[in-house]
Amino acid sequence: MTDTNQSLLDALVPEIRRGGIVLAVLAGLKQEEYGYSLKRWLADHGVEIDEGTLYPLLRRLESQGLLASRWALEEQRPRRYYRRNAAGDALLRDLTREWKTFNKNIGGLLS
Amino acid sequence: MTDTNQSLLDALVPEIRRGGIVLAVLAGLKQEEYGYSLKRWLADHGVEIDEGTLYPLLRRLESQGLLASRWALEEQRPRRYYRRNAAGDALLRDLTREWKTFNKNIGGLLS
């Protein structure tokens, strides 16, 4: 692979990961997690996400009404815990269905 | 589904489609196509894309060095034809591999 391809790949890979990341984060917040524990859980499932992407995404999903959150003081520092609310449950279900259908169609094109 | 969920779904569905659209467009340009013929080919494969998304994407992929293009005069109007070049072939192959691995991991999280 040439250097040019590598830099293009580095530019385009985040684009192909972006939608799946939203689904993965919603899926992981079935139970309460704070940012770093969620990041670890995702990594354990093969989905790497940096904190500069994850934290703004958590705030955005909360502002869209899909997550509940609370602060807790642990190990002498505040942690913000998130979990899906009922709207998040419903959206994850619908979005998963869209994702599966869409990806099946894309997979058909690529084969 | 409530109205709120529908508007959220409308906001988030483009996000989960975005990366796949890039792959689909690259895949479709194995042979030369102009914008509208590519749009029809994608629709025939279950992948809807509006022209306001497709045309800027074609210009962007060309500016990234992945497509060759030429103008042709047909039916008394100019049409811009695009097809993948060798760099586009290589990138599509690498990006497809990334997409498959990533989506397999996301699928695992969602099941």
Domain parsing of chain A, residue ranges = 3-110
Out of A9, A47, A106, closest to residue B109 by CB? A47
Q: Given an 8 Å threshold on Cβ–Cβ distance, is A110 in contact with B4?
A: no
pLDDT for residue A75 = 86
Q: Mind listing the pLDDT tens digit for each residue in B23-60?
A: 999 999 999 999 999 999 999 999 999 999 999 999 99
Which spans in chain B are helix H? 3-28, 35-44, 51-63, 86-110
- The band of B3, judged by pLDDT with boundaries at 50, 70 and 90, is low
Query: CA-CA distances (angstroms) from residue A111 to A94, B32, B51, B81?
Result: 26, 19, 25, 23
- B17 touching A, CB under 8 A? yes
The CATH code that applies to domain A3-110 is 1.10.10.10
Among chain A residues, the shortest Cα distance to B45 is held by A105
Q: Mind listing the pLDDT tens digit for each residue in A67-77?
A: 999 999 988 99
Q: Are B9 and A91 in contact (CB under 8 A)?
A: yes
E strand or H helix at B65: none
Residues in B touching A2 (Cβ below 8 Å): 90
- A73 touching B, CB under 8 A? no
Residues in A touching B28 (Cβ below 8 Å): 109
Predicted TM-score (pTM) of this structure: 0.90
DSSP 8-state class, residue A31: S
Nearest chain B Cα distance for residue A44, angstroms: 10
Residue type, A45: H
Nearest chain A Cα distance for residue B60, angstroms: 12
pLDDT for residue B19 = 93
Q: Mind listing the pLDDT tens digit for each residue in A60-108?
A: 999 999 999 999 998 899 999 999 999 999 999 999 999 999 999 999 9
Q: What is the ipTM of this complex?
A: 0.90
- B94 touching A, CB under 8 A? yes
